Amino acid sequence: MLKNTEKEFWFVVGSQDLYGDEALKQVKQNAEKITASLNETENLPYSIKLQDIAVSAASITKVMKEANYNDKVAGVITWMHTFSPAKLWIRGTQLLHKPLLHLSTQVNQAIPWDTIDMDYMNLHQSAHGDREYGYINARLKKHNKVLVGYYEDEKIQKQIAAWMDTAVAYEEGFNIKVARFGDNMRDVAVTDGDKIEAQIQLGWTVDYFGIGDLVEVINQVTDEEVDTLFDQYKELYDFDYGNYEKENWESAVKVQARYEIALKNFLDAGGYTAFTTNFQDLHGMQQLPGLAVQRLMAEGYGFAGEGDWKTAALSRQLKVMSHNQNTGFMEDYTYELTPGQEAILQSHMLEVDPTLANNKPKIVVNPLSIGDRQDPARLVFDGKAGDGVVVSLADFGTHFKLLVNEVEAFEPTTKAPKLPVARVLWKVKPNFHDGVKAWIEAGGGHHTVVSLNVNTDQILTWAKLTGLEVTLIK
């Protein structure tokens, strides 16, 4: 289950006093009709709550202030039913610190040529009002989104849904707490960065813990708890004993079950929804957490290896955006350079996210050549196919830069019997040579987050909300 607080969106419909009570009554009825229609559709992941019709600067300012301080509200959707003079919106818009969607729509799809008169036209003048209102958002450099379309069309509903998911992920940024077990891997550059700036710009809290703090919690886990979890593994995964005695294999897997319980207890007790480990800092542990980390990724916790807190937080961010579907931490590993088949093999030393699995994962125990510990258990599987987006956050000293590359993941057709880790394969856009070159030239890292459920527009919307510089490769 993806842990997240319940969210809703407020719908603020613009008008003005000039048209009289009867017209405002109509505006309210139509706003209620659109609200009900959007809430009834299966396409929206969160509900919409209609607020009082916005007719004065005082009422607009009040509703925006209330939206700011209500934790349930993930964003505000505005729509101009009639003309609504935009000076009324200046103060409220300035004060609003939640994501803002300006929905340009209309209650009736077609113009009723047989009956249309001046009253009708004055009541239904979204085209007029949207421009007046849009001007002030542009002038205030508001980080708002504009979506245009008839509210009953599936296409616009899906665009609203994508924006809602992005807004919720943005808001979640201020709740993301990353627990780092150990520091960054020694000597590695791209995974390091300015934690204070990340908290200022993105909301992330990044806390260090000595590995001994986790070992203490590991030691509190009982054998009964471990056995219960091990029984769940039997239901969910294939067991591949390899060359191990069954008993040795099971005890290696149970080490990971113990780590899973301890990590979850530790994270939940401190309100952490993302974490990092580092194979160079495992004092008091028998294995590098592998299977344990993968199980927590599947539950929606953000993660990245080698102390990479930026990618860990980013993966939590995208897991919220994607409802934890087909989204997780990844690492660029090995090129396929056969002409016409160019691709990149993606994996990690153990921790590949099972939300990307195309087949039933199997548990494998295998030596790990680095880290100087016992053979760790991990889930092995092949990745799913699909169009997706891969993102990475790099710190350039003066600012953060978000790298975005559109990719096409595909299922591997050749077996890899000696590969003891999960694998994901993708082709990059616009083509292998230009895409890879652009990524490297822009300074994109080897640790990324991939999602087959989030689209480029959502990433750009989030980057606009957070003020991140973006390099988009597509």
Shorter beta-carbon distance to Mn ion: residue 130 or 306: 306
Shorter beta-carbon distance to Mn ion: residue 63 or 349: 349
Cα gap 349→291, rounded to integer Å = 11
Instruction: For the beta carbon of residue 465, count every other beta carbon within 10 angstroms.
Output: 22
Residues 168 and 46 sit within 8 Å (Cβ to Cβ): yes
Residue 141 φ then ψ, to 5°? 50, 40
Residue with tokens 């706003």: 31
Shorter beta-carbon distance to Mn ion: residue 305 or 388: 305
Closest contact distance (angstroms) between CB of 265 and Mn ion is 25
Closest contact distance (angstroms) between CB of 280 and Mn ion is 12
Residue 461 φ then ψ, to 5°? -65, -45
Shorter beta-carbon distance to Mn ion: residue 100 or 424: 424
Cα gap 365→350, rounded to integer Å = 10
- Name which of residues 385 to 424 contact Mn ion (CB under 5 A): none
Q: Pick the stretch among 206-214, 223-231, 324-332, 391-399 that binds Mn ion (CB under 5 A).
A: 324-332
Asked if 182 touches Mn ion (CB under 5 A), the answer is: no
Q: Pick the stretch among 19-27, 294-302, 330-338, 382-390 that binds Mn ion (CB under 5 A).
A: 330-338
Closest contact distance (angstroms) between CB of 425 and Mn ion is 18
Q: Pick the stretch among 59-67, 74-82, 161-169, 325-333 that binds Mn ion (CB under 5 A).
A: 325-333
Closest contact distance (angstroms) between CB of 351 and Mn ion is 8
Asked if 328 touches Mn ion (CB under 5 A), the answer is: no
Q: Pick the stretch among 82-90, 130-138, 164-172, 299-307 that binds Mn ion (CB under 5 A).
A: 299-307
Closest contact distance (angstroms) between CB of 355 and Mn ion is 18
Look at the alpha carbons of 467, 468, 469, 474 in this order and tell me if their dihedral is positive or negative: negative
Shorter beta-carbon distance to Mn ion: residue 226 or 304: 304
Shorter beta-carbon distance to Mn ion: residue 51 or 392: 392
Q: Pick the stretch among 125-133, 226-234, 251-259, 300-308 that binds Mn ion (CB under 5 A).
A: 300-308
Closest contact distance (angstroms) between CB of 239 and Mn ion is 27
Asked if 193 touches Mn ion (CB under 5 A), the answer is: no
Asked if 332 touches Mn ion (CB under 5 A), the answer is: no
- Closest residue (Cβ) to Mn ion? 305
Closest contact distance (angstroms) between CB of 431 and Mn ion is 26
Shorter beta-carbon distance to Mn ion: residue 232 or 334: 334
Closest contact distance (angstroms) between CB of 367 and Mn ion is 18
Return the residue of 260, 331, 375, 395 that touches Mn ion, per CB under 5 A.
331
Between the alpha carbon of residue 261 and those of residues 219, 220, 316, the distances in Å are 11, 10, 19
CA nearest 353: which of 274, 244, 239, 278?
Answer: 274
Shorter beta-carbon distance to Mn ion: residue 55 or 304: 304
Quote the tokens at residue 161. Answer: 């849904």
Shorter beta-carbon distance to Mn ion: residue 304 or 404: 304
Shorter beta-carbon distance to Mn ion: residue 250 or 306: 306
Cα gap 409→427, rounded to integer Å = 6
Shorter beta-carbon distance to Mn ion: residue 92 or 354: 354
- Beta bridge partners of residue 75, listed in sequence order: 9
Asked if 92 touches Mn ion (CB under 5 A), the answer is: no
- Name which of residues 223 to 262 contact Mn ion (CB under 5 A): none
Closest contact distance (angstroms) between CB of 301 and Mn ion is 17
Q: Pick the stretch among 90-98, 281-289, 327-335, 377-385 that binds Mn ion (CB under 5 A).
A: 327-335
Return the residue of 14, 75, 305, 445 that touches Mn ion, per CB under 5 A.
305
Residues near Mn ion (CB under 5 A), total: 3
Q: Which residues lie near Mn ion (CB under 5 A)?
A: 305-306, 331
